[in-house]
Structure 1
């Protein structure tokens, strides 16, 4: 007998319902009445249903990935492990089983509890005649395949022999790295001229605006030449195909404007082509020199996106990105050497980004990757069939290469690779070596002896985004100790550490509930095309996802009574409820981070305007300014206490930790740090017990330009 895919079935005292993705646990003492109903992710239910339909057989990992993730091994491998972990946790705990799902070594998984299906869900097998006809058809097809295989066998053997020789030729190509720059600054966005002689890169230091520099690769000991003025800021450029000019964004600080600029290298003449978004925005030029494509915001309410500017005729920039009701934003781009494809790095939400390619003739679009975290540079291989890219995963940057036809991703295993760029007409590339670790640091306030920040943990991995609970007297933070960003907690001394999640899905921005029983955080959705607000219940270790129609959510924080979570959606400041009610928009403002400081008062920062703001939830339209935008330009690195607000202030060449006092409105600097010490995406929290601040600090290493030779590039 067969079984319908959508069939409801029982595993002991648990009813599995695929229609609403629930596990319903019954208590025999209450006469079959459900004692607990748990909603889980749809893919988890699909895995459990598939194992039940195959009971008591062993099901291989490959079979599960083929049937549930459509053969996508890159996503399915991690997702299947995660699904089995969650199913075991629910079933073992509620049914009292030692192991409801068995891992059969080197084979797969087997369900150990016999499923009970309704008779109505059983499908009759084929009758004897139909089985005979089917068998005949199968045998006929098999004979044809045998004949075809025999004819292709010699061809296959010859191809395998040729491929083996090719692999032997590239297998022994060594991985060689050569430093091209040794200056004290940070060298970013390297690109080599079409003739392979000249290297251009952007460099900035703590006390100067960034500029573009030109280095002659045939004279490695010569000092690089600065190409742009010290009164403007530039960092990212592309060469014209003939090698005679550079195109880049240039910020003129005295005017407060950014101009898309063409610099003719022979005459050193700079020509303004139009406005740009920022000097670090991505851009590239078509191989036929006909047009530039770049990231820009035209100020028409569509947000930033891809724009095309003709270089052969006078015309206004044309938007290429989605303009209305978009579920993504484009962030980086690269033309293929033959001009047929435009590669695009596309961000979904704020913790998920993937690569697409657009056919420049037909507008056909393909998706190449699923579930990347943060792309840091795109470049085409000279064969027009592979893309080289860098991505940051759980705080570690590395390089990869992906085929545009088979979508197969191979790691280059070059830690620190950022902004790779192929050297024209070669199998080599240049990249910026970027190594950055994060740590949670403690700073004691009002000490009689001046002190510096102290790391919370003396460890070699990155950890960040702390939040403190006075009820539990514990710190929650994100750590990549296991190879993935997961939720951890410790006491105020960094000891008695515990890992609370094993999602392997890049969790971020944890926030304690006021009563210390729950932690809200962000994690990607099932499709890795956005994020959802997750809530961890520490008493049960269960993780629930709050109901939402939105794709993207900003950092979560808790309402005063812990019955809802506040976050920004595309509609504004929004309340998300723990009882699965649909969320409610309370104000249309574009909030970055908000914190409740009383039962009715929310203080928050805004994406569209500097300053610290406040709103009463009972009067959501009455928004007031707490700290003027002239004194407060921070987005995330701030914390409210009973007496006032601690916040980061960025100055030219250094950073300050300031304190704004409620009763006087005065701002007092309390700590001076080197520029870049506190990252823009960090977090800050206050420990009243010992009157100290916790904050995310970053360790910036010197960044140099490296030339790379690698076997996978051949």
Structure 2
């Protein structure tokens, strides 16, 4: 059955207007104004389809066929996004209950009876009668089915006691219990095998992260700090007997990192192996004999999974991941409770990440997911048949559960879920509630006393990564307003908002050409295993993909001639051409972000070393082959500003007179200006810590002498215990 778009209807006090793509909520109390909310047409279509099939369950396939013409690639993610938005927008009539039910391994069901409005279809009485009769018939059949089921249960009570209990368990409502209440940021929760103790990483505004232990039988008690103030720790795993913790620890002064073993009762700490960072991912095998963690050992081309035998001290880590010519990076891992599988979160490029399963007996791997964006933790159900994971898609974090046999993914619809971890032997989990929105803020620099940056747009969506075009006098940015990260632009007053892409494929890092005619950005490739540099022509609206042999590209920036684009690749700083010539490798150095300030100079930051650097550019010669060409320009390298003054990767922008950049400190952030002619660094404004995210960006508006910043808005991060029927 197709969606009948002519029929308006009510859900409680909400009037649904399919043709107007809107929801109108009548006031709860006299004297108040009605509230109208506009929705995307697809969102309205999903709601109409559910209403027209009430109270039946509608499969995901049927919805995708009806709404997205059977396009499974686009429809699967778009449907999940649509359901999330509908639940959010219909919350005023939900009264704290679910309004759209997720039925495991089936689909969705509307839980409020729709009342169809005859005024919307006065000229189509047959259509109204047909639809209303269908709903009435379905409701009657549903009631009759329930009655028959009740009679059957009464007749077979003794025989079906367990089944009845099992079925009713699936109707357990979603409940969340807050386990931590401090003002700090708590992350990576993990419950002891006996279910009593919670360990997590936490920090205050002026502290490094440390591990804390909380008694779940006495939530009002102050948690115990387990690790030193002279080191940083954030995530830990329990031994099977609950007597020992394993965690990465990084010394605050020397920056040396080691995997540590802590005996809870005695407090004895033993270093086991080197690591790279205190937030290194790790997990312990179910038998407790082997630890696995992410490490970049000396001589490795890339980081990967290493295993460490724990039966004797002094054993050496053994690499499990790909060793050479790897086209991916392993970022997280989890052993299954039965010891058969290791789930691996694997990143292809910088905006594509998926889950793979490794059979620990055969060492064979299979791919579990396709097309995810940014995985934020994964944990096995105690049945070893299902896996819960969190992702950040287009700026929104949420939880999902996937069956490893049929690979069917179902949303948990728990916004903010990060780093989930099942409580051992229980169908409940704990997670870090982490809701973060991004916005672009404008900082006026022509005042004697700088004021606090203020938001450029007054919208509820997340938007970030500004790039300014002086010739167009417009700001390009990425926003998730449609449910996908797309390229948008706005004028300097925050008006005349325009959407430029509709790829529905997680675009990132727009960069405006110097003449304002084009915008370069990244988007996933066709296989969702990497990214390509896309170039949008503002005059024609066409999008081209630059020729490249590489799987991954870092943030693009434009050459002075508006015909070349710089980006980092596996080979280093690489120049790409709009005429599809083979790219040219300018330097083997790994660049984070570059900006051409003249025709012959590229200013950039590096992955391997702090500081601001400059690279002299030479004339481009004709290509000799289809392979990327190499340049000798590494000898023309210049350090502009040392790492003691400049330790930033992405939050900086070069102007005619100098460079604005973020200086990050433990208890605050500074926006500084380094002037070219005097070599002096001047603080501009002091901001609270974490306001400007590490992966943000800056842009400069010369006409108004203003700075554009990506800022994050964090709610307080707490540990939550979750009960959910999909976890049973």
Bin for the TM-score computed over the shorter chain = 0.7 to 0.9
Structure 2: segments with no counterpart, 5+ residues:
1-59, 80-155, 619-631
How far, CA to CA, are the matches of 1:387 and 1:287 in structure 2? 16
Please tell me whether residue 689 in structure 1 is matched to residue 703 in structure 2: yes
Cα 1:415–1:79 shift into 2, 3 Å? closer
1:224-274 deviation digits (Å, cap 9, x = unpaired): 111111111111000001100000011112332011100001100000101
Cα 1:225–1:555 shift into 2, 3 Å? same
CA-CA distance at 1:628 after TM superposition: 1.0
Q: SS of the counterpart of 1:461? A: coil
Aligned to 1:238: 237
Cα 1:512–1:384 shift into 2, 3 Å? same
Structure 1: segments with no counterpart, 5+ residues:
1-60, 81-157
Please tell me whether residue 705 in structure 1 is matched to residue 704 in structure 2: no
CA contact (8 A) 2:450 2:684 kept: no
How far, CA to CA, are the matches of 1:165 and 1:562 in structure 2? 68
Aligned residues, how many? 572
- CA RMSD in angstroms comes to 2.2
How far, CA to CA, are the matches of 1:614 and 1:481 in structure 2? 37
Aligned to 1:484: 484
1:367-420 deviation digits (Å, cap 9, x = unpaired): 110010100001000110000000000100000000111000000000000000
CA-CA distance at 1:303 after TM superposition: 2.0
Aligned to 1:154: none
Q: SS of the counterpart of 2:726? A: helix
How far, CA to CA, are the matches of 1:411 and 1:196 in structure 2? 26
CA-CA distance at 1:73 after TM superposition: 3.5
1:279-316 deviation digits (Å, cap 9, x = unpaired): 11110011111110001111213221100111013421
CA contact (8 A) 2:74 2:504 kept: no
CA-CA distance at 1:169 after TM superposition: 2.2
CA contact (8 A) 2:652 2:661 kept: yes
Normalising by structure 2, what TM-score?
0.76
CA-CA distance at 1:76 after TM superposition: 6.8
Aligned to 1:560: 560
CA-CA distance at 1:581 after TM superposition: 1.4
Cα 1:79–1:181 shift into 2, 3 Å? closer
Aligned to 2:403: 403
* Aligned counterpart for 1:662 among listed residues 660, 667, 676: 676
Aligned to 1:415: 415
Cα 1:711–1:62 shift into 2, 3 Å? closer
How far, CA to CA, are the matches of 1:78 and 1:244 in structure 2? 42
Cα 1:163–1:195 shift into 2, 3 Å? closer
CA-CA distance at 1:458 after TM superposition: 1.0
How far, CA to CA, are the matches of 1:284 and 1:343 in structure 2? 11
Please tell me whether residue 614 in structure 1 is matched to residue 628 in structure 2: no
How far, CA to CA, are the matches of 1:643 and 1:163 in structure 2? 76
1:8-59 deviation digits (Å, cap 9, x = unpaired): xxxxxxxxxxxxxxxxxxxxxxxxxxxxxxxxxxxxxxxxxxxxxxxxxxxx
Aligned to 1:642: 656
Aligned to 1:191: 190
Aligned to 1:147: none
CA-CA distance at 1:554 after TM superposition: 0.3
How far, CA to CA, are the matches of 2:190 and 2:449 in structure 1? 49
1:69-98 deviation digits (Å, cap 9, x = unpaired): xx9935675699xxxxxxxxxxxxxxxxxx
1:155-177 deviation digits (Å, cap 9, x = unpaired): xxx9xx99996884244111000
How far, CA to CA, are the matches of 1:543 and 1:72 in structure 2? 22
Please tell me whether residue 290 in structure 1 is matched to residue 286 in structure 2: no
Please tell me whether residue 632 in structure 1 is matched to residue 646 in structure 2: yes
CA contact (8 A) 1:75 1:370 kept: no
Q: SS of the counterpart of 1:540? A: coil
Aligned to 1:603: 603
Aligned pairs for 1:588-599 (under 5 A) are: 588-599=588-599
Aligned to 1:73: 72
How far, CA to CA, are the matches of 1:460 and 1:205 in structure 2? 28
CA contact (8 A) 1:354 1:369 kept: yes
Aligned to 2:268: 269
* Aligned counterpart for 1:675 among listed residues 676, 689, 692: 689
Q: SS of the counterpart of 1:387? A: strand
Aligned to 1:251: 250
CA contact (8 A) 1:78 1:504 kept: no
CA contact (8 A) 1:259 1:273 kept: yes
Cα 1:432–1:77 shift into 2, 3 Å? closer
CA contact (8 A) 1:465 1:682 kept: yes
Greater CA deviation, 617-626 or 348-357?
617-626
CA-CA distance at 1:669 after TM superposition: 0.4
Aligned to 2:302: 303
Instruction: Show structure 1 runs of 4+ deviating over 2 A.
Output: 71-80, 161-171
CA contact (8 A) 1:75 1:371 kept: no
